């Protein structure tokens, strides 16, 4: 299954949102999403991985606590990581703009797990 | 679409490996015993899976364990536990300690601190900066995984590389110098890189217990020599265009109490490893100390423990387990005799196996290379130390291709080097590396009485 949608404010329906990046030591980093129009709380994300607009440098940070063994797979994964992000971003954007996805986000996550 | 084709190939390779297993058992030469035939089949299957990476390397380890327990054990005395034991042997425990040490360094940014401290002194000529980068990389890689070291040092070098004029070959020298130095740096301590574990274990089997310090005495001079060769080759191939570059190093805040404590624990661990001759506690048991001191105090957490690189340990375990099978079944002796290696003199044998290791390691993992070759060559019964060191060190000569070893893959991911760049410089370096191991190494180890 592949799907994408713009996240919207549950109170006013706006898709102008603000991300608040929050870190507390000992906890995984969190992102709190707030509606830029009416200020309502929209969602909270818990991060397992972060990639900036400089994917190679994000990758280097990730690999600093790593010891890889499978080199053929590493080459493929590193290539996919650095080149794949931009492509996936475009694909997700296109799908969101088409607006075919009507389900709520928790439903999508729930149904994608099986 | 591309992904689907990849998994199709993986399924095909896996199927073929089992086909080879069957062929080997069914059609092996008549002078082989049942145990030898079975072990040959498992050996061929493992080699094929290691080269193709059709399934992850650690999964191959479990497959080796299962096949040896089910197919091979009945041929030799039914005791499958001998194949199980290597997975938590003293060597594995030693490596676990090394992983904890590396995690402590990374978690508290001590690796970064050390790198900045050392690099602060190198000045601004491109040559000195390259040499400084390489030396720091090699030093860190003696204690940390080659992958982590490469990722850290490329991140440190990246700002410098970006300030170079586009097209300055010096960028390639830096980006290649880091993974190459990480690969070579691994040979300098027993815990530096997994092939060392294979050599250490194999030597233990024949009654030679190399201490941590003794390993370093045997390998560090070679490491330094090869580093100089790498430096020389890179400066020759990628002559810098600028006369001056500036290394922009991050300013780090003064260390907190926790960081000082962690450094103390790690320094003490290394000190205890180096002085096993004085206190008599085996180095593998000393590995328990950083585990107790860092996890017990909460300075490292459960998440750190869970992500310690267990797959690497299982890859080593599988390699060691296969070695046990090769030895117990007598496949080692059969291979040596029937391939004609027994008639060769000691030195040609060393040379052939060192080059074979360097060739294989560029197409399969360093650990697997050592795991395939070390057990066979030890059956010759002559000077096991020189042979197993020669092969294990040559297995670190993965300089040819991005797929040769993960550090190369990371460097290649920067997009700053082409495969051709790596192959050209790496080819020359690999060649000199192996020659150095089998000449300088040979005479140096002889000189030390081995
Ligand atoms: Zn709103």
Answer yes or no: is pLDDT of A66 > 80. Answer: no
Which chain A residues contact residue B145 at CB under 8 A?
66-68
Q: Which residues surround the ion ligand 1 when the cut-off is CB under 5 Å?
A: A 9, 11-12, 14, 35, 37-38, 40
Would the CB atoms of A71 and B365 count as touching at under 8 Å?
yes
Per-residue pLDDT at B3 exceeds 70 = no
Give chain A's mean pLDDT. 86
Mean per-residue pLDDT, B397-402: 94
Q: Is A96 on the interface with B (CB under 8 A)?
A: no
Domain containing residue A65: 17-108
Cα B212 → chain centroid: 16
CB pairs under 8 A between A and B: 97
pLDDT of residue B216: 96
Q: For chain B, what are the domain ranges?
A: 1-79, 90-302
Q: Tell me if B273 sits within 8 A of B286, measured CB to CB.
A: yes
Number of domains present in the structure of chain A? 1
Answer whether residue A96 shows pLDDT above 60.
yes
Token representation of residue A68: 């890889």
User: Which residue of A61, A66, A73 is in closest CB contact with B147?
Assistant: A66
Residue in chain B lying closest to A65 (CA): B148
Could A64 and B158 be called an inter-chain contact, meaning their C-beta atoms sit closer than 8 Å?
A: no
**For the ranges A17-31, B26-40, B213-227, which has the lowest average pLDDT?**
A17-31
In the 8-state DSSP scheme, what is residue B294? I
How many of the other CB atoms lie within 10 Å of CB of B205?
16
User: Is pLDDT of B191 > 90?
Assistant: yes
Mean pLDDT of B144-157: 94
pLDDT in tens, B268-292: 999 999 999 999 999 999 999 999 9
User: B414 CA to chain A: closest CA distance, Å?
Assistant: 7
| B413–A81 CB contact, under 8 Å | yes
Q: Among A5-9, A19-23, B1-5, B165-169, which is the least confidently predicted range?
A: B1-5
pLDDT class of B1 with cuts at 50, 70, 90: very low
d(CA B204, CA B277): 16
Whether residue B2 has pLDDT greater than 80:
no
Among A26, A71, A74, A85, the strongest candidate for a mutation testing the B interface, having the largest count of B CBs within 10 A, is A71
The answer to whether residue A8 sits within a structural domain is no
Q: What is the pLDDT of residues B339-385, one digit of tens each?
A: 888 788 889 999 999 999 999 999 999 999 999 999 998 888 888 99
Give the phi and the psi of residue B403 in degrees, each rounded to 5: -80, -5
DSSP assigned state of B256: P
Q: Which residue of B has its CA nearest to A62?
A: B151
Among chain A residues, the shortest Cα distance to B155 is held by: A60
Euclidean distance between CA atoms A63 and B344, whole angstroms: 44
Q: Name which of A69, A75, A78, A85 to mutate to probe chain B: the one with the most chain B Cβ atoms within 10 A of its Cβ.
A: A69
**Cβ(B188)–Cβ(B216) below 8 Å:** yes
Q: How far is B206 from chain A (nearest CA, A)?
A: 28
């Amino acid at each position: 299954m592949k799907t994408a949608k713009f996240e919207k404010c549950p109170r006013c329906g706006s898709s102008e949102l603000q991300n608040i990046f929050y870190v507390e030591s000992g906890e995984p980093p969190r992102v709190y999403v707030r509606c830029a129009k009416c200020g309502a709380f929209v969602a909270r994300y818990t991060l397992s991985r972060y990639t900036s607009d400089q994917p190679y440098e994000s990758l280097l940070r990730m690999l600093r606590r790593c010891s890889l063994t499978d080199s053929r797979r590493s080459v493929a994964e590193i290539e996919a990581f650095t080149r794949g992000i931009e492509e996936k971003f475009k694909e997700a954007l296109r799908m969101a703009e088409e607006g075919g996805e009507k389900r709520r986000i928790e439903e999508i996550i729930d149904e994608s797990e099986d | 679409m591309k992904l689907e084709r990849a998994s199709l190939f993986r399924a095909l390779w896996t199927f073929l490996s089992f086909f080879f297993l069957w062929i080997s058992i069914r059609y092996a030469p008549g002078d082989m015993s049942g145990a030898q035939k079975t072990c040959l089949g498992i050996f061929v299957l493992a080699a094929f899976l290691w080269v193709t990476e059709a399934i992850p390397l650690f999964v191959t380890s479990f497959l080796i364990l299962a096949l040896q327990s089910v197919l091979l054990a009945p041929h030799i005395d039914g005791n499958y536990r001998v194949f199980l034991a290597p997975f938590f042997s003293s060597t594995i425990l030693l490596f676990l300690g090394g992983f904890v040490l590396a995690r402590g360094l990374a978690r508290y940014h001590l690796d970064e601190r050390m790198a900045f401290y050392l690099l602060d002194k190198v000045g601004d000529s491109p040559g000195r900066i390259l040499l400084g980068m390489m030396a720091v990389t090699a030093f860190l890689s003696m204690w940390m995984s080659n992958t982590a070291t490469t990722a850290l040092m490329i991140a440190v070098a990246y700002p410098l590389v970006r300030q170079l004029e586009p097209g300055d070959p010096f960028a390639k020298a830096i980006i290649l110098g880091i993974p190459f130095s990480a690969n070579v740096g691994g040979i300098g301590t027993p815990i530096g890189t997994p092939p060392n574990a294979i050599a250490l274990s194999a030597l233990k089997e024949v009654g030679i217990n190399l201490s941590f310090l003794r390993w370093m005495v045997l390998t560090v001079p070679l490491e330094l020599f090869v580093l100089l060769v790498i430096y020389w080759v890179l400066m020759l191939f990628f002559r810098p265009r600028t006369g001056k570059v500036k290394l922009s190093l991050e300013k780090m805040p003064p260390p907190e109490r926790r960081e000082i404590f962690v450094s103390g624990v790690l320094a003490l661990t290394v000190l205890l490893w180096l002085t096993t001759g004085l206190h008599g506690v085996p180095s593998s048991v000393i590995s328990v100390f950083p585990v107790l001191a860092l996890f017990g105090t909460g300075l490292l957490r459960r998440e750190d423990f869970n992500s310690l690189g267990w797959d690497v340990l299982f890859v080593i375990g599988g390699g060691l387990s296969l070695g046990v099978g090769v030895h117990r079944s007598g496949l080692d002796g059969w291979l040596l005799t029937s391939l004609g290696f027994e008639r060769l003199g000691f030195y040609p044998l060393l040379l052939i196996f060192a080059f074979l290791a360097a060739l294989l390691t560029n197409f399969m993992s360093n650990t697997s290379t050592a795991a395939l070759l070390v057990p066979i060559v030890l059956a010759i019964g002559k000077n096991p130390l020189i042979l197993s060191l020669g092969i294990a060190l040559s297995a670190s000569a993965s300089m040819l291709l991005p797929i040769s070893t993960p550090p190369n893959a990371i460097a290649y991911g920067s997009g700053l080097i082409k495969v051709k760049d790596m192959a050209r410089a790496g080819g020359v370096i690999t060649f000199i590396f192996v020659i150095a191991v089998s000449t300088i190494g040979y005479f140096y180890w002889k000189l030390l009485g081995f």
